Amino acid sequence: MAIEGSSEQTREPRIRLGMVGGGAGAFIGAVHRIAARIDDQFDLIAGALSSSPEKAAASGRDLGLDPSRAYSSYREMAIREAKLKNGIEAVSIVTPNHVHYDAAKEFLRRGIHVICDKPLTSNLADAKKLKKVADESGALFILTHNYTGYPMVRQAREMVENGELGDIRIVQVEYPQDWLTENIEQSGQKQAAWRTDPAQSGAGGSTGDIGTHAYNLASFVTGLELDSLAADLDSFVEGRRLDDNGHVLLRFKAKGKEKPAKGMLWCSQVAPGHENGLKLRVYGTKGGIEWTQADPNYLWYTPFGDQKRLITRNGAGSGAAAARVSRIPSGHPEGYLEAFATIYTEAARAINARKKCVAVDPAVIYPTVDDGVKGVAFVEACVASSKRNGAWVKL
């Protein structure tokens, strides 16, 4: 990425990309394909786009894939692409959660880099096994916690790292939605059906789907590591098998001699009036910050005892971390798709460095398999705590 007026880097060949899942009717697959193309770093050349061979072939035709590279299963795709001279170099996995482990394993073991949707897996045992496979494979593993790609989230992280907030005391993060306020999974709505099915989603409902995003965002910005939590989860909609609302108290590990930070996380899919209300507030001994995904180009900063200040993307007061992942001048909005594209472009930079056998630029940041393990551990700890009437549970 380069902002207006900066010099373009030498163009690298596009990375040959495959996709597992994401066929006709799949929301997140289309988002991944757009994100992969925004900065012109990837070419989608192969796919196992559906578990139905007929739908996989039809989706491949819709996307203009060579029919011989529209596969009926991800295992067939991994085996064949690994043998081709110009086979895929990376694969996007955009299936329901329960498929992530087996699919990622097939590609990692063949040295193909994996870009995987969150959460990492549907259970912690599989998450730990997948980390072992990833660590041993030598291939890169990128987890698409896309909210970490927003420039002003990078700005917030940089300010925390630079000590502008002082010692962090309080972390407040929330992610409310309203789309599951009614029992739409019973109507056959595809996205609702698998997200509320424990066999496909895992032990967490709202905690797994959006709570992991909130938890990851808080960790990414603050650099804090969670020590323990106390959770109160509910399934407010009658007959729903997974939680649709969660209130979670957080205790972070101490850094140095200061008192450990505390936090609260709220995730809900039954909060009318909220579409995707992700918000983060962080308070330290020297000041506080507030960022809202609905207005992502702005970051509010209040030094203690001073006036509240608005920092805008690429505006006065914004730093190098935000500028590095910005594409256009201040005043023009960048949003969800561009943030998602940032993760793909960071992945491309890491993959290209690996191809050249050189160290990746330390400025390149993306969520890893380790972040994925922490996310699944967070979900299972929430479920365990709630079953014990909100008892504190160590991660």
119 prior amide bond cis, ω within 30: yes
Residue 13 is predicted with a pLDDT of: 94
Burial of 110 (0-12, 13-18, 19+ CB in 10 A): middle
| High-pLDDT (> 90) share of the chain, % | 94
Kindly tell me if the per-residue pLDDT of 279 is higher than 60.
Answer: yes
Across 3-16, average pLDDT? 64
CB 89 within 8 A of CB 15: yes
Separation CA 15–CA 115 (nearest Å): 12
Superfamily of domain 150-328+367-394, CATH level 4: Dihydrodipicolinate Reductase; domain 2 (3.30.360.10)
Question: Would you kindly state where each structural domain of the chain is located, as residue ranges?
Answer: 15-143, 150-328+367-394
| Cβ neighbours for 356, distance < 8 A, ≥ 6 positions apart | none
Residue 247 belongs to what H/E stretch?
Answer: strand 245-252
Across 376-386, average pLDDT? 98
Residue 3 is predicted with a pLDDT of: 42
Across 138-154, average pLDDT? 98
Residue 5 is predicted with a pLDDT of: 36
Separation CA 24–CA 26 (nearest Å): 6
Across 257-280, average pLDDT? 95
Q: Using pLDDT thresholds of 50, 70 and 90, give the confidence band for residue 24.
A: confident
Across 142-160, average pLDDT? 98
> Among 9-18, 124-133, 363-372, which is the least confidently predicted range?
9-18
Kindly tell me if the per-residue pLDDT of 240 is higher than 70.
Answer: yes
pLDDT digits (tens, 9 = 90+) for 201-221: 999 999 999 999 999 999 999
- Our CA dihedral for 370, 371, 375, 377, rounded to 10 degrees, sits at 30
CATH of 15-143, one of 3.30.2140.20, 3.40.50.1260, 3.40.50.720, 3.50.50.60: 3.40.50.720
Residue 10 is predicted with a pLDDT of: 63
Other beta carbons less than 10 A from residue 36's beta carbon: 27
Kindly tell me if the per-residue pLDDT of 7 is higher than 90.
Answer: no
Give buried/exposed letters for 132-141 (b at 16+ CB in 10 A, else e): ebbeebebbb
Kindly tell me if the per-residue pLDDT of 102 is higher than 70.
Answer: yes
> Among 9-23, 282-296, 300-314, which is the least confidently predicted range?
9-23
